[in-house]
Structure 1
């Protein structure tokens, strides 16, 4: 059984649909970045992905919340500079500069920025 079904089943239909699209982007980005398999799990009750291989990358999480009902939020480790880099690269994408990026449920899918974020997150510990 999909580890996320129980959580996402509680979300409204637009959030579930956008989650499915974003999950496909995340999995594709990991494949393109050649990080090997990902662990799909729940962290803090939120869908999360991390490379299985040690010292490869960091964790990326997605969540929907009734406090921000029109978006999914992507979270990165606050001890990294990933959110700051995203704010610099994609200034139009709502971002707290520390760990959270907001991805609207309607409108254009933020495919390229999320793919880039996933690749940077999953390769964070690789030597450049």
Structure 2
């Protein structure tokens, strides 16, 4: 793990660290399964960011101003969140055109989140497809 990202994770409350740690592992596992190359980890806008060469970067974070939620952020100038809303609008909660909101008090819909992460990691191969090929 990148040192800055590791330090950022260390500052999370324990329950957040565990949940976002699982989400981070999902990103890395998907990149490996899809043979997308190494995942670059860094802090962008003060949030852990993850990217691969043919994908759209994604970020994740928890904010003290919204302590019951974690956020999975996507590049707002892509069609990612717009498409996710179309496909998972009744299953996932969104914040504008930039994030999936994940409630810490509830189980997360892992298969839906996993699918969204997969689409982001392969975005440049899909961006011309209707509904991004979902």
The two structures have a TM-score, normalised by structure 1, of 0.88
Provide the C-alpha distance between the structure 1 equivalents of 2:115 and 2:72, rounded to a whole number of angstroms. Answer: 12
Runs of 4+ in 1 over 6 A off after TM superposition: none
User: For structure 2, which runs of at least 5 residues remain unmatched after alignment?
Assistant: 130-134
Deviation at 1:48, TM superposition (A): 0.8
Number of corresponding residues: 125
Deviation at 1:19, TM superposition (A): 0.7
Q: Secondary structure at the match of 2:67?
A: strand
The aligned counterpart of 1:77 is 75
| Residues 1-128 of structure 1: pairs in structure 2 closer than 5 A | 2-3=2-3, 4-51=5-52, 53=53, 56-91=54-89, 92-126=91-125
The two structures have a TM-score, normalised by structure 2, of 0.84
Between 1 and 2, higher relative CO (CA 8 Å, sep ≥ 6) is seen in 1
Deviation at 1:84, TM superposition (A): 0.9
Q: What are the Cα deviations for residues 60-107 of structure 1, in whole angstroms up to 9, with x where unaligned?
A: 100100111111101000010100111111112111341111112232
Provide the C-alpha distance between the structure 1 equivalents of 2:105 and 2:58, rounded to a whole number of angstroms. Answer: 21
Provide the C-alpha distance between the structure 2 equivalents of 1:67 and 1:75, rounded to a whole number of angstroms. Answer: 16
- Structure holding more helix per residue: 2
User: For structure 1, which runs of at least 5 residues remain unmatched after alignment?
Assistant: none
Provide the C-alpha distance between the structure 2 equivalents of 1:36 and 1:112, rounded to a whole number of angstroms. Answer: 22
Provide the C-alpha distance between the structure 2 equivalents of 1:37 and 1:2, rounded to a whole number of angstroms. Answer: 13
